[in-house]
Structures are given as C-alpha cells and as structure tokens.
Structure 1
C-alpha cells in the first residue's frame, strides 16, 4: 500500500470514527428525554426510576471489559460494528417496554450495548491516531458531545408533539443511517505484539490501573456537575431554577468547544504538559465554584472548569490505549470502565456526602482530586504515541 493511499484511508477512518462517537452520544442524549416518561407511563416512584437509571449504568460497566476482551481477539473495527449495529436499535425496546421488569431488561441491554460500543470506538480512535500520527481523541469526544446535545435538544420537542414511541423510532432511523454510512470506513488496528490472555483475565500491568484512576478522578467532577451543580446553586447559593440550569449547560458547552480545539493543543505541547495545565485550570474553576457566593460567579467558574476537564479524559483514554505490549482494546476497557464509574456510580456517593457536609465542601474536595491528576500527569506519557508505519 502506498503512503498516499494509506493516509487517505486513515482520513476516512478519522471521520468514520467521529461518526461513531456522534451516534453513541446521540443515542445517550436521546435517552435522557425519555426518562420523565417512565414515571407516568410505568406508574413508578422516583426511587424505582433511580434504580432503572442505575441498571442502565450497570449494563455499561459490565459490557465495557467484555468489549475489551473481544477486541483483544478480533480488533476494534469488528467490535464497534458488532456492538453498534445492535446499539442503534436498542432505544426502541426501552420506549416500548410495557412493564417495569421488561423496562429494566431493556435498559440493561441498552446500557451494555452503548457502553461496549463506547470502549471499541475509543480504541478505534487510538488506531486512527497511530495511522495519522496526530491526536484525534479530543475532537472525537467533541463529536460525542455534539451528538448528546442533538439528541437531548430535539427529544423533548418530539416527545411532546408526537409521543415517546415516535421519538424512539425517529432516533433509531437517524442512528441506523449514520452508523451505516460510517461503519464501512472504520480503520483496522493491528493485533498486539503480546497476546496477554487467551481467556478472559484482567491485565497484570499495574500502570493501566493508575491511568484508570486518573480517568476516574477526571470524571467524578464531571458527574458531580451533571447531577448536582443545579441543586447546589439553588439550595446553597439562592439561585432560581432557570439560573441554576445554566451550570451544566455552560460547563458542557465549554467542554465541547475545548474538545474540538484540544487535539491541536495536545499535538503542540504533548499529552503530559497538556494534562498538567488542564488539571490546574479545572481545579481552579472547581474551587472558585465552591467558594463563590454569587450564582453567576459559580456558573462562570463551572464553565472555566469545563475548559480544563474537556481534554483530561481523552488524554487518559489515549494513554490507556497505547500501553506497550497490551492490546489497545484491553487497556481502553480498563480505563473506560474505571473512568465511567465517576459518572455512573460516584454521583450517588457525592449526594450522600453533600447531605452531611454541604455541596460547597464537596466541590472544594473535588478540586483536590483534579490537582492529584496534575501531580500524576507523567502517567499519561504513553498518549504521546510514536507514528505507526503504513501497512
């Protein structure tokens, strides 16, 4: 294969994996507007609804390491296609489920398929980075954010005017179409030099778990802002409901903006230096948000923190997918599983802690987590990958 043809394939693969990120984010964002419908349609309590949402997260956490194991045998392209072709169909059974047990089953499968696809598409983004010899992970996550925004923004309007089943059907049609366009151009990744396990087993390389810890410390603050920032502003800073809602909106908007700019920053300064600077920005923003007495000062501080957090997770994922002697999918599955606990599991513990000490102290403590990431930034040196020769 000549060099120009190899670069052309890699560039198509770059947009193909960006499409996978958009589809995954679109499916996740489209699920959010369906949540309130569950309360009335299934006639369940908020506690039961919370358990159903937790089941969605558990499905993702269980399937993430399975996805990594499958990639160590078959490569990321086949696993993205495998999980993705079912994930694009999975919202419809959730919307059609007539009872709580069936809804729980559908949500577990939906979460598992979306989570398994998530790990595989991140590993495929690593393969694209190696072929292009430049970072694409941050902008790939930017496409995920765009997909989530698109799914969430259109969902409420469609459900209100046409019903939740019509919404799920339209989401499925859009997701299937985009997936079919992108999946055929995904790049292949080479088999690892070291086949570290022939049966399902956890990696023995301790550094991958430290990188997973970095991802966890990056994603806990993200989950905290997502679930608790509005309540913090309303209860402890006297903001009205409309104002409080801007906290996550500006935080996520800042993250999306910075993720599209982040690859250029990382290519210029390197993963370790970028991670260290980003952690300082994020920690400063989180600390100011915790100490601010005025709601809009806290909201601006959350947005500033979002600028820093935006590129921290993609760098951790790249480092996990570039561990020497380890399949990209194996490292990615460990890092993503540990990292996503920060969004799917940690917020419940944060709520419990805030009930006893207040959200202000909790957000201040989270700034300490982000400083720890900065101190351990050297662990992300593997994200500064070496070019992969064209095959």
Structure 2
C-alpha cells in the first residue's frame, strides 16, 4: 500500500491575478482516500494552455484555490486495493481527466440508463467527467493538479508509462499529445491521407509529429507567420503555409487536404479558407477552445463539397495508452524545455508570452529545498 503520511503541497492560484506570476506555494488537502485511488509522487508536470485559462478564469469562473497541471508523471507510492493495473513503484501518469461515472450506481448521469460513452470507452465525453483540476470528485473532494509534490487520482485514469519514453517527453503527451492523436486516429490520418495541422504550438507540433508517425502521405503545417517554417519542417512536415505572409495561399492550396486538425483557440482564424483547403467530403476537426466559445462557420463552406466540421476533446485512458506505446515504438520526440518546479510562476509568465518552443515541463528535483530557497 505504501506510506500514508505525506503532506500535499503545491503552487496554488488564489485568484485571477495568479496567472501574472502570483501563484503561492501552500499545503492543501487532497480528496479523501478511496481504495480505487492512487497517490503519485510527482516528478514532472507539463504546462498546458488550459492551465492559463483556468488560472485567469478565462473559460468560466474558477473554483479558487486551484492547483493546475494535468500532464503529470511520477511514481505510484500508494495504490488502493481495488486498483489492479498499477503497483507501488510504477512510473505512471495522469492526463486532463481524473474520473468519469464508469456506470457506477448513483453516479451515472441517468440512473435508469447506462452511460453509453463510458460503456464504449469514450470516458472523456461522459456527462459526469471530472477534470484533473478545477472539478469536484464524486466524494466531494476538490480535484487538484500537478504543480506540486503529490497527486491523488482515481486509478482508472492513472496510466502506466512504457519503457523507452523519457518522463519529460511523456508528460505533455498526456494532454496536448492525446488531444491531437485522438482525432488524427479516429478520422483516419494514415497512409493515403493528406493532413493539415493549423497552429504550430504545443498541440500543433504534436499534430505534425503524430500525423507523420501514423503514416500520412503528406503533412502540411499551417500558421500565421513565416518564422516557424524551419521548425515545422524539422518536425516532419512536408510543407508549410504562412497565412499572414503568403499571398494567394488559399487559392494555391485549395482542395488539397483530406483532414485538418485546428489547434487554434481564436474565433478570428480564416475558417472559410481552411475549409476551402479540404477536398470534397473532407473534415476539419476543431480542438482549440476560444475563451468566448465563438467559432463562426459559413454554411456554404460545408454545403459546397459535402465537407464536415467536427470537435474533439482530450482522449480516453485506452487512447492515451495506445498513443504512449506508439510514441515509444516509433521514437516520437516532442520539443520540450525543462523548467524547475520552483520557477513555476516564471514559466507560466513565459507560457503566456508565447515563448514556449513548444512545451514547458516542470521538473521536481529536490523540490522541497528549491521552493524554500525561492520563497
């Protein structure tokens, strides 16, 4: 079972100003222990755009205090008796989701019907999905993330990390990676397909890597500025489109792609032109989430060519497991920059400024001494 005496400490956002470098290192109480849980000693935690939105209450008012971070890697140090796929000492991870109803009596959305999403292994679409932070567990405890020493999570969403993957590389795959892997796989981004990735950031660079790893015939990276062209080609893109600087790009690339994954969180993107890049019957999948939720679509962009717009959100435990195995087998190597956990506030500021190329990962090495020295 492992030792039960430990103090949960981490960087807490106390209000919307916390995103301005004002998180505070404090102790906090995790959810009450259940025998379905796993306690993890955190070694790495990626910084995700969702962390920024939550710290500043961008999508909705946050339930402060919050401890963000849902790209968690560490060692299982306590394992509940009901958890069979993890043992103490295993290297494990937790992504953006911490729980779902799993058709448990009294928890499923409709007590008279099974949850079709959980029954089909689509837990990320369960109506009672619990986020790794910013939510409430079914026992009433607040979900608290990975900018800290420990994380307690329901075991169903604790994923063993395969050998062959560096922990700093695996951490951002648990959210950013699976957010693009899931729709790429589901919508057939394999041999014979030409795939576009809109936005070359934390998610978009994974889009290029995974589209290539899945065997797409052609991968096109699409961004506003020319300055990311060299990076896109190094990541494995066959072509690059700089929409703000390349004259006539929409006409040049018209009807050339089978599938587009849009990672951009902006209602101002030229969505009609992106739709024009699709072949007849092609699909654009939106994974970026603008804070105002707006995504204006012209009906004629769909009607002409029988095109489709879809959405996708994170991924299920089975998809994460599959993605990690493929990444290990094929040597997928994301571009990450390690940052000390003690410097989390500065790393958040750098993330907000758009300086990440292309993912920051907080590293817990001697964290207790690091943080005390920084305070």
Q: TM-score, normalised by structure 2?
A: 0.29
Q: Which has the higher helix share?
A: 1
Structure with bigger strand share is 2
RCO higher in structure (CA 8 A, sep ≥6): 1
TM-score normalised by the chain length of structure 1: 0.28
